[in-house]
């Protein structure tokens, strides 16, 4: 039987709701449990340098939940030394390195590996993480650019998470997505040839994920904001189950 794409659920925005009022609820621990029981393959959290949603204490707590259910923790983070040290202390299964800017609403695009300073910073973070956690897998959040992906292949990484934000916006507004799909196809081929996993994330909804699933473009999807928003109406478990069922309908090539 062929494998189906994995579904990672990002629960950052459960913490966003909690931080809006400074309360102890809603619980990210409970959210992680609900998602895993509903069929999620992993939990993703992003500990930002500005701590706008996930807090330091959440990291260890969510890690315990993923261990309880025998599922991976995917730890999104910038290349800041402080956050690297927290990752090393926590021992997640995956680290996904992403760019961060204080003024951004959310991650606006992939890491710029064409800038030598950025490339060196990412390289140093990868080296330190791999040295401290030999079994750790690392992914980089990148645009589907051949030049960028070729640079990524020079680093000690296990996967690339392709930024799908602009594709998702175009889909939402009824615009043509063929140029994005073409770029994703080329990225998949390039990464496969390099022996690097091809993942996707950012801005995806139950509707916009369908064309990607149908083409078998990605082995893993990390979805957060839409799942948490739709959970207001349908319940978190139901939303996760529905999206996971979609993943199961389209086995990987």
Q: Could you give the residue numbers annotated as active site?
A: 46, 76, 202
71: three-class secondary structure by DSSP? coil
Cα 240 from chain centroid (whole Å): 15
Helix, strand, coil share of the chain (percent; to 5): 50, 15, 35
Cα–Cα dist 89/63, whole Å: 11
Residues 6 or more apart in contact with residue 154 via CB below 8 angstroms: none
**Alpha-carbon dihedral sign for residues 240, 241, 247, 251:** positive
DSSP 234: H
């Amino acid at each position: 039987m062929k494998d189906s794409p994995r579904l990672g659920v990002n629960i950052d925005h459960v913490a966003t709701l909690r931080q809006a009022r400074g309360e102890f609820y809603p619980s990210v621990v409970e959210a992680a449990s609900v998602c895993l029981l509903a069929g999620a393959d992993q939990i993703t959290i992003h500990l930002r340098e500005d701590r706008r949603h996930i807090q330091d204490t959440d990291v260890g707590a969510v890690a315990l939940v993923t261990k309880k259910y025998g599922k991976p923790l995917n730890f999104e983070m910038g290349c800041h030394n402080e956050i690297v040290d927290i990752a090393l202390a926590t021992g997640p299964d995956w680290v996904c390195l992403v760019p961060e800017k204080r003024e951004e609403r959310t991650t606006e695009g992939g890491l710029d590996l064409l800038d030598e300073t950025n490339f060196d910073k990412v390289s140093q973070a990868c080296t330190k993480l791999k040295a401290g956690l030999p079994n750790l897998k690392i992914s980089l959040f990148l645009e589907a650019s051949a030049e960028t992906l070729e640079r990524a292949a020079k680093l000690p990484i296990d996967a690339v998470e392709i930024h799908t934000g602009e594709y998702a916006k175009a889909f939402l507004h009824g615009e043509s997505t063929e140029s994005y799909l073409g770029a994703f196809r080329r990225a998949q081929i390039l990464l496969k040839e390099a022996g690097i996993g091809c993942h996707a994330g950012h801005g995806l909804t139950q509707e916009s994920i369908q064309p990607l699933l149908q083409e078998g473009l990605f082995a893993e999807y990390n979805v957060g904001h839409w799942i948490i928003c739709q959970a207001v109406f349908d319940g978190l478990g139901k939303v996760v189950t529905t999206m996971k069922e979609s993943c199961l309908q389209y086995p990987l090539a």
